[in-house]
Amino acid sequence: MKFFTTAGPIRPEKNYYVPLSTRLNEQELYQLIDQEKYFVLHAPRQTGKTSTILNLAQQLNSQGKYTALYVNVEGAQAARNDYTKGIYTILEEFLDQIKNQLPDQEHIISYIATLLEVKSITGATLKTMLSEWSKNSTKPIVLFIDEIDSLVGDTLISVLRQLRSGYAQRPDAFPQSVCLVGVRDVRDYRIWSHEDQQMILGGSAFNIKAQSLRLSDFTQSQVRDLYRQHTAATGQHFDDDAIAYAFEITQGQPWLVNALAYQACFVMVTDRTQTITKEIIEQAKEALILRRDTHLDVLVDRLQEPRVRHIIDAIITGIDTSIDFPSDDIQYALDLGLIARRNNNLVIANPIYQEVLPRELTYSTQLTMPQQQLWYINPDGLLNMHKMLTEFTQFYRENSAIWLDKFAYKEAGPHLLIMAFFQRIINGGGRVHREYALGRSRLDVLIIWKTQRIVVELKIWHSPKKTLTEGLQQTADYMDRSNATQGHLVIFDRQEKDWNDKIYTRVEKVGNKTITVWGM
């Protein structure tokens, strides 16, 4: 039986998959190769780059016009600035992959084996090997180098320069076409050269690049086609709402799309007569978040990098003033797949990441908060939101200075603290949804508990008009959009003033909406 995979390259005979022809323009790829171009394919991790390139290399070899090879150079990462050690490791990878993929290439197999045995590696050895192979090959060589941006310092510079150095000799004495595959476009590399004692730009070290291709996330129709492969194989249906919701919360991120479906179909609902509904996909999402899979752990690890942190910090708080982020930092966060550009705004890439980020940033805080869910449940089983926010106000007054000092995310500290408080209480009994983006000037929280749908709008105090008047209207609008049963506007005043002046609670009316305002 085929299954949805979340680990390693796709194997078409074992996994459901989205065909290469629907993810990249095959005609464009073949044209670049036929025209002897060197190019880049980049996309965030676990979006299908390796599967796509392995598939393309196999296609090229089966067609008989070219000799195509896929190599992964990540093993040379540990060499860092020791480029002779790095090139040696890369040659070992070439030898293994040629033996596996092209066992008839006996001449170059013997040649590389001799190089490795002699161990005489220089800054031109990779170029010399590729030249030797091309001269003795009966067909032009097409080379795909994966994880190129995992290389560090002088090892990366050496590889890029050797490829550039041999470029003019193609196709008779150097590979006809080379594709560099990684998370980032080579032009965005800023590489510190220990040997040169200066920063080298990837675009200058590899100025022969003809084009950069970005592997996009799945479209909604691709998600539908992928899930219907399971239906065709097993008879188990996904209803239309489930497919639409899966796309909505993943925005087509391939790992998430596959992980949701695997959780739903192979863990939660193994009875193939039972349809996969939106509710099941929602439960699968929660399971993924709570399980903290490697994909999400790696993502969260990036949040500690200063160049990522200051962008995410601003997005969580919804800062609506102009911020001069370095363009390279924005591009880096985009390339990682953490953020996206939508409607001229920078936003977290998808709703699942929106849920994961604040949860993970406050994970230890949630565990150590002295709060219990039972304290805030009424006899009828409903959530007492007024009691909960009253308690949080006191907690914030007594502990904010200590707790906020712990957060690396200084601007978003109050938002993260209240979300940790909510998560601690709501966990296991309801759900917390969050909406935020740069320029929105607030963070929207929707708490779903049994029949209750409670909106909490979070804002930082700026002025009566900007904070209170706009905040009340924003809360009312969100209540209307969310079909909410309650609405609360929480305003954090970060000015230096007495707590008695900051803390207040009052009820306001906006149209037919009743909103409780909490100052703190």
**422-450 mean pLDDT:** 88
Looking at this protein, which amino acid is placed at residue 238?
A: F
- Report residue 78 as tokens: 């540990």
Q: How confident is the model at residue 204 (pLDDT cuts 50, 70, 90)?
A: low
DSSP state of 47: S
**290-301 mean pLDDT:** 78
Q: Are strands 67-72 and 141-146 parallel, antiparallel or unpaired?
A: parallel
Distances 6 to 36, 46, 229, 269, 501 between C-alpha atoms, Å: 34, 8, 16, 18, 52
CB neighbourhood size of 499 (10 A): 13
Angle of the 351-361 helix axis to the 294-302 helix axis, nearest 10: 70
pLDDT of 200 reads 75
pLDDT of 289 reads 87
pLDDT of 290 reads 82
- Report residue 31 as tokens: 């044209």
Residue 212's φ and ψ, nearest 5 degrees, are -115, 125
**57-63 mean pLDDT:** 95
**232-259 mean pLDDT:** 97
Domain boundaries, the chain: 20-214, 220-291, 354-519
Range 20-214 has CATH code 3.40.50.300: yes
> In the β-sheet with 452-460, what is the strand arrangement from edge to edge?
431-435, 443-449, 452-460, 486-492, 513-519, 504-510
> Percentage of the chain surpassing pLDDT 70?
98
Smallest CA-to-CA distance from 415 within 306, 318, 488, 317 is with: 317
pLDDT(113) > 90? yes
Token match 């005609």: residue?
A: 27
pLDDT of 180 reads 95
pLDDT of 266 reads 97
**Contacting residues for 312 by C-beta, under 8 A, at least 6 apart:** 303, 333, 338, 339, 348, 357, 409, 412
> Could you tell me how far CA 349 lies from the centroid of its own chain?
7
Model confidence over 442-499: pLDDT tens digits? 889 999 999 999 999 999 998 888 899 999 999 999 999 999 999 999 999 988 889 9
pLDDT of 280 reads 98
Q: How confident is the model at residue 227 (pLDDT cuts 50, 70, 90)?
A: very high
More confident site: 429 or 476: 476
pLDDT of 348 reads 93
Smallest CA-to-CA distance from 295 within 350, 346, 247, 343 is with: 350
Asked whether the beta carbons of 453 and 440 are under 8 A apart, the reply is no
More confident site: 90 or 27: 90
Sign of the four-CA dihedral 194, 198, 203, 207: negative
**169-194 mean pLDDT:** 86
pLDDT(256) > 90? yes
pLDDT of 179 reads 96
pLDDT of 73 reads 97
pLDDT(193) > 70? no
Q: Which of helix, strand or coil describes residue 75?
A: helix
Q: How confident is the model at residue 285 (pLDDT cuts 50, 70, 90)?
A: very high
pLDDT of 202 reads 67
pLDDT of 98 reads 98
**Contacting residues for 404 by C-beta, under 8 A, at least 6 apart:** 410, 413, 414, 417
**150-163 mean pLDDT:** 92
pLDDT of 340 reads 93
Fold (CATH) for 220-291: Helicase, Ruva Protein; domain 3 (1.10.8)
Q: How confident is the model at residue 102 (pLDDT cuts 50, 70, 90)?
A: very high
Looking at this protein, which amino acid is placed at residue 195?
A: E
Least-confidence region, from 85-94, 275-284, 426-435, 505-514: 426-435
pLDDT of 192 reads 60
**203-231 mean pLDDT:** 90
* Exposed / middle / buried, residue 92 (Cβ in 10 Å: 0-12, 13-18, 19+): middle
> Percentage of the chain surpassing pLDDT 90?
65
Highest mean pLDDT among 189-198, 271-280, 304-313, 334-343: 271-280
Q: How confident is the model at residue 363 (pLDDT cuts 50, 70, 90)?
A: confident
pLDDT of 258 reads 97
Q: Which of helix, strand or coil describes residue 491?
A: strand
Q: What is the mean pLDDT of the chain?
A: 91
pLDDT of 386 reads 97
Distances 372 to 34, 391, 423 between C-alpha atoms, Å: 65, 12, 11
Angle of the 240-250 helix axis to the 254-262 helix axis, nearest 10: 140
More confident site: 55 or 293: 55
Highest mean pLDDT among 17-26, 107-116, 192-201, 329-338: 107-116
DSSP state of 217: P
pTM here is: 0.85
